[in-house]
Amino acid sequence: MKRNRPSYRGLPSARGRYAAAGWLATSAISAPRLADAEPQQNALLPAGVQAAHIGQLWNLTLVVCTIVFAAVLLATLVALMRSRRDNAVAAPDLDSLTRPERRTRRVVAAASIVSVVALCGLIVADVLTDRALSKLPVDNPVRIDMTGQQWWWQVQYPAGQDMAGFATANELHIPVGHPVIVSLKAGDVIHSFWVPSLHGKKDMLPGITTSIVFRADKPGVYRGQCAEFCGAQHALMAVLVIAEPPERYDAWLRQQAQPARAPLDATAQHGRDVFEKSACAGCHTVRGTSASGTLAPDLTHLMSRQTIAAGVLANTPGNLAAWIRDPHAWKPGVTMPAVPLSDSDLQAVVTWLATLQ
């Protein structure tokens, strides 16, 4: 199977960097529609109350800064128009050193006072926004644990009264209209969780647990990104927040809590056997099998996710086979090694993984 991929291994070459940059640019423009809408990563399109407060603060800051910028440009233009136009050999005009310019001093003093008042106003608005965010009600919240890794997101849903806990990767499902408390950790270096349509940035620090509270008021798929440089593939560390009506969210929880179903044919059975006997089982978990690794994403319901490799590739059998064969061609430096499988074994593994819905 032919595929287009960067022509580099290990550290990217100049050609590989250009190819990756082009891929990122075109993917941002022509990304496939997810959940009937392209994933939003836009701070100017708030989808929750927290993001709305931050958006209002941004609008106020933009207006104030635009007025100040326009006033400075206007003052500069007036000064240039009123300046004397002498020739190059004429003596400079030094009258201002001996003749007080009271009007100019009054204008400068007034402008300074207005600037200080505007800056103080922005500080007050910032503090009020922060207080408003901290006072939002958090009744019966959904609690989720998230750990930032190089370069993917581990998402852990705790056990409920009638449901076992489970882990997924690179997707955060939440119910619309319910407050969500996400506990944030870093498994290696500093990361930063940022879904601009729902809230601001929140750092994830090794050895320290922080949290972020938000609420999605509109169903949809909202794209997030690590906002703190965390290594070579920092730019390829996306996360999707999928906000669903509560009944669909509950159904998703029940489905994800179940173990992987047994293979239905000989090819899928062979694929599971190959997976369990290879290095894959040492890093990945598939509940219902002997694979119980904790270093890499849980694959129990892999095919229910929209992307693989933290947003690098759409989750299709073809892309999955390409990723298993040579992950470094798509994400140089990733900790997942290339798995040396024969073509028949690789096809069997992909066939089995495709059943993990």
In the chain the domains, ranked by start, together with CATH numbers, are 260-353 (2.60.40.420)
For 108-149, the DSSP string reads HHHHHHHHHHHHHHHHHHHHHHHHHHHTS---S-EEEEEEEE
Distance set, CA 119 to CA 64, 69, 112, 131 (Å): 9, 13, 11, 19
333 pLDDT more than 80? yes
- The residues, any chain, with a CB within 8 Å of residue 305's CB and separated by 6 or more, are 168, 169, 170, 171, 315
User: Which residue would you say has higher pLDDT here, 93 or 42?
Assistant: 42
When pLDDT is cut at 50, 70 and 90, the band that residue 16 belongs to is very low
pLDDT for 108: 84
Give the tens place of pLDDT for each residue, 269-320.
999 999 999 888 989 999 999 998 889 999 999 999 999 999 999 999 999 9
State the amino acid at position 117 in one-letter form.
V
167 pLDDT more than 70? yes
18 pLDDT more than 50? no
Q: What is the pTM of this model?
A: 0.78
pLDDT for 156: 95
Sign, CA dihedral 111-114-118-119, equals positive
The Cα 108–Cα 111 span in angstroms is: 5
State mean pLDDT over 334-343: 89
